[in-house]
A and B are shown apart, each in its own frame.
Chain A
Amino acid sequence: MSLLYDLFFDYTLRNVALGTLLLGLGSGAIGSFMTLRGESLIGDAIAHATLPGVVLAYLLTSTKDPLLLLSGAAIAGILGIGAIMGLTRTTKIDSDGANGIILSIFFGFGLLLLTYIQKLPDASQAGLDRFIFGQAATIVASDVALIAIVQGVVLLTLILFFKELKSSTFDPQSTTVMGFNRKIIDAIFATLLVAVIVTGLQTVGVILISALLVTPAAAARQWTHSLKTMVILSSLFSGISGMVGSLISATEMNLPTGPIIVLVLTAIVVISLLFGSRRGLVIKKVSQYRRQGHFDERRILLALDELSRSHDQRGLYHSHHTISLLVGERHSMRRLLAKLVKEGAILKEGDAYLLSKQGEATVASLALEEVHHDR
C-alpha cells in the first residue's frame, strides 16, 4: 500500500515509474520491428556505441547537463549504426560481424575515455559511469519530460510509417520496387532506434537497454499472429517491466535498475514461451496431442470399416486386440474407444466393437474428404 501511496506522492518514485514506463512503451514497439528485420543485435551494438559520445560530450563541455550528454550519445549512436550499415554494404562482413566489431570498438573507446576522466583532478566527473548500468533513481522531472517527448515522437512516427515499415520488414525488395526508397525507410528505423536507446541510457544503461528492445518482442510474438497486436503487446510488456523493475530498484536503493528490469522481462518471456496463446509450448503440445487423438479416432473407424468389409458376415464385433493390430498399439486406445462409444460412432459389447450407422456415415464422409483433398 505504501508503495502505491509513494507512487503518487513521492517525487522521485513518480519520476522513476513514469520515466521507465514511457521508455518501455517506445522501445517495445520499435523492438518488434528490430527483431522481425532479423537485426536483434543492432540495438545492443548501438547502445554500446553511445558510451564514447556521453563521455566526449562531458569532456568537451565540462557540464553534466543530461540534454548535452544524451546529444553526444545520439551522435555516437548514429555514427555507430552508420558504420554497421556501411561495413555490411561495402565489405563481405555480415551483420553479426559488423555489430560485434562496432560494439567492441566504440564501447572500448568509451571505457578508455571514462578511465581517463576519472584520473582528472576535478571531482565533478563522478557519476558518468551510471550510464553503464543505469540508475533510475537519479532522474528528475525534466528527464521524464525529455523521455516523454522523445517516446511520444517515436510512437507517432511508428504509427505514421507503420505501413512502410511493415512492408519493408516483410519484403524489402518488393517494397523498393513499389517506389519506397529503402534508404529512407532504413533511416527512419535507425533514427527511432537511436532515439529510444539514448533516452534509456540514464535509467537502464548501455549494457542492458537492448533487453527492453528484444525481450518484449519475443514474448509478444508468442501471443499473436498479427503485427499490430505484436507491436502493441511488446510495447506494453516493455513498459510494464520498465515500471515494475524500476520501482523495485528504487525501493531497494542499492540495486541498479537495468538488471531488475531485465529480471521482470525474463519472467514475462518465460511465461509467454510456455503459455503463449499462439506459439507457446503448452498450446503446441496440447494441439499436437489433440491432432494425434483426432487422427487415431479416424484410424479406429477406418479399421472397423475395413474389418467389416473383410468378413462376409455383417454385424460382427471385433476385439480391442484386433483393432490394435490394425491401428497400432496406443496408450490412448481405451480412452479413444470409450469416447467413440459415447459419441455413438461405435457400438460396444464386452471388449468388442462394431461400427454404428452413424460411424459408417462418418467413414463415408472421410472417404469423400480424401477425394477432395487429392484434387
Chain B
Amino acid sequence: MNHEPQIAIEVEDLTVAYHHNPVLWDIDLSIPEGVISAIVGPNGAGKSTLIKAMLRLVPISSGTVTFFGRPLDEMRRSVAYVPQRSEVDWDFPTTVHDVVMMGSYGALGWIRKPGRREREKAMSALEKVGMVEFANRQISELSGGQQQRTFIARALVQDANILLMDEPFAGVDAATEQAILAVLRDLQQAGKTLVIVHHDLLTVKSYFDHVILLNVHTIADGPIERTFTEENLERAYKGKFSAMKGRIDESVV
C-alpha cells in the first residue's frame, strides 16, 4: 500500500437539470484515494443528485465523471452505492441475509446464481456490521439503524474500492452511528475511498478528513482543515449559516 495516492473520483463540468431547472451547475471536483469525504450543503443543494449523477442514475446534461481515470462502465466492480434507506420498499418479501447477498450479484453477472461462497461472504459482512443475529429476520421488522447496517453489509459484499453513500447516518440512534462510523473507519484503513452525503455539520470535522461544500455549484472541496472554514460555510449556506454558527464553534474547538 505504499504508493502515491491517486485521484479516486474526478468530476469535470458536470451539469444536471430536471425539466430545465439546473440542480447541479458546472461541478468540478476531485476526491483523492483513501479519504472519507463528506458532501455537505443546504437542503436542495443537490447532494444526493451529485452521487446519483456520478453513478449515472440520473441523466446528466453535460460533463464527465471518472473513477481512477476510467469511465464508470469499466469500473462497476470497483464502485458500490448505498442509497438512502427511504429509497426502497422495506416491505419487500425477503430476509436480511438475502439483501446482503444481493451485493454479490454484480460479480456473479447475468444468470449465474449465488452459491455457498456468496452465502458465506454475506454472513461475514453481517458479522462486520454486528447483524449476524438478524440474518434470518424479515426486513420489514428492522429498525432504521438495522436497515442502514444491512445496506452497508451489502456494500461490503461488493468488495468495492470506492463507496458512495447517501445519508448513512440519517435517522439512526447514537450507538448505531458510532457502529457505522467504526465500519467506515475500517474500510478507510483497508484503503477504500468513501464519499458520504452528510447533513450534520456538527460531526463533519470529527468524522471526515475531506469535504465537498455544495450548493448547486461546488463552493469548495479539499482537506477538512483547509476547506471546512467559516467563510466557505457562509458561502454554501448563504446567511442561514450564521444561526448555526455558535453551535458549530462549540463542537469544533
Contact = CB atoms under 8 A, between A and B. Distances in A.
Interface of A: 36, 38, 92, 160-164, 166-167, 169-171, 173-180, 221, 224-227, 229-230, 375
A232 to B, nearest CB: 12
A36 B88 CA distance: 11
Given A176-B56, A225-B140, A227-B92, 14 more contacts: A163-B113, A167-B102, A170-B99, A173-B81, A173-B87, A174-B102, A176-B57, A177-B81, A179-B77, A225-B93, A225-B138, A226-B93, A227-B93, A227-B94
Interface of B: 19, 52, 55-57, 76-77, 79-83, 87-89, 92-95, 99, 102, 105-106, 108-111, 113-114, 138, 140, 154, 158, 175
B99 to A, nearest CB: 7
A31 to B, nearest CB: 14
B206 to A, nearest CB: 23
Contacts of A173: 52, 55, 57, 81, 83, 87
A226 B94 contact: yes
A177 B94 CA distance: 21
Contact of A169 (B19, B92, B108, B110): B92
B93 A177 contact: no
B93 A224 contact: yes
Contact of B76 (A38, A169, A178, A221): A178
A299 B72 CA distance: 58
Given A163-B113, A164-B110, A375-B175, A177 B92 contact: no
Contacts of A226: 93-95
A170 B88 contact: yes
Contact of B81 (A36, A174, A180): A174
A89 to B, nearest CB: 10
A177 B55 contact: yes
24 contacts: A36-B93, A38-B89, A160-B111, A162-B113, A163-B108, A167-B102, A167-B105, A170-B88, A170-B94, A170-B99, A171-B88, A173-B57, A176-B57, A177-B76, A177-B79, A177-B80, A180-B106, A224-B93, A225-B94, A225-B140, A226-B95, A227-B92, A227-B94, A229-B93
Contacts of B106: 177-180
Q: Which 8 pairs across A and B sit closest by C-beta, in order of nearness?
A: A178-B106, A179-B76, A177-B81, A225-B138, A171-B88, A170-B92, A167-B102, A227-B93
Contacts of B99: 170
Contacts of B95: 225-226
B105 A230 contact: no
Nearest to B92: A170
Nearest to A170: B92
B220 to A, nearest CB: 27
B114 A163 contact: yes
Contacts of A180: 105-106, 110
Contacts of B109: 179
A176 B113 CA distance: 18
Nearest to B76: A179
A178 B89 contact: no
B160 to A, nearest CB: 9
Contacts of A170: 88-89, 92, 94, 99, 102
Nearest to A38: B89
Contacts of A375: 175
B51 to A, nearest CB: 10
B93 A171 contact: no
Contacts of A160: 111
A346 to B, nearest CB: 32
Contacts of A36: 89, 92-93
A77 B77 CA distance: 36
B102 A171 contact: yes
A223 B77 CA distance: 37
A29 B36 CA distance: 44
Contact of A174 (B83, B92, B93, B110): B83
